[in-house]
Amino acid sequence: MNTSTFRIIPLPTEVAEGARRIAKTGAADHQIVIADSPSGYPCRHCLRWAKPAERVILFSYAAIPPGQPYSESGPIFVHAEPCERYYATDEYPAAFRNGRVMRAYNSTFHIIDAEFVNGSEPEAVIERLFRNPATAFVDVRSVTHGCFTFRVQRP
Ligand SMILES: [Zn+2]
């Protein structure tokens, strides 16, 4: 029986593949970066940190679509080489248990709650945010850089 109280939503594969295609054209807004640290380049598609010397693409992603007060676009990385989309969607990704902030949004994309999760159990924070029936989804972001990491929905 699946008792998970949430579902992890990694970056869609179409978005990752689109970024790889655009990066190959040399577009200025899709830069290839070579990872130089083991915890500086989180891939939003496989939800792992790129290893040093791996190539990643840096581009802007609209986590919250344009046209509303809480619209938000910002820089994210994906592996430059094809990677497997994170599939353990009922398990919180081990790579991002620390240094994250969770923002709860309602169905009209307004932030209605937020919590810093460094050192606490992310599953417990997600469960608490979803206890509010108005919470439509939770976005997990870097607490230091602010960048979108992945989305969490109800199961
Ligand atoms: Zn990846």
Residue range 35-57, pLDDT digits in tens: 999 999 999 999 999 999 999 99
Q: How many CA atoms lie within 13 A of 123 on its CB side?
A: 9
Q: Ligand 1 centroid to 71 CA: how many Å?
A: 25
Pairing of strands 30-34, 148-153: unpaired
Q: What is the pLDDT of residue 120?
A: 79
Q: What is the pLDDT of residue 3?
A: 65
Q: Ligand 1 centroid to 45 CA: how many Å?
A: 5
Torsion 128-132-137-139 (CA) sign: negative
Task: Check pLDDT > 80 for residue 2.
Answer: no
Q: Ligand 1 centroid to 42 CA: how many Å?
A: 8
Place of tokens 């924070």: 125
Q: Ligand 1 centroid to 84 CA: how many Å?
A: 7
Q: Ligand 1 centroid to 30 CA: how many Å?
A: 16
Q: Ligand 1 centroid to 43 CA: how many Å?
A: 5
Q: Give the tens place of pLDDT for each residue, 103-122.
A: 999 999 999 999 998 777 99
Q: How many CA atoms lie within 13 A of 30 on its CB side?
A: 17
Q: Ligand 1 centroid to 109 CA: how many Å?
A: 27
Q: Ligand 1 centroid to 121 CA: how many Å?
A: 24
Residues with CB under 5 A from ligand 1 (ion): 43, 45-46, 79, 83
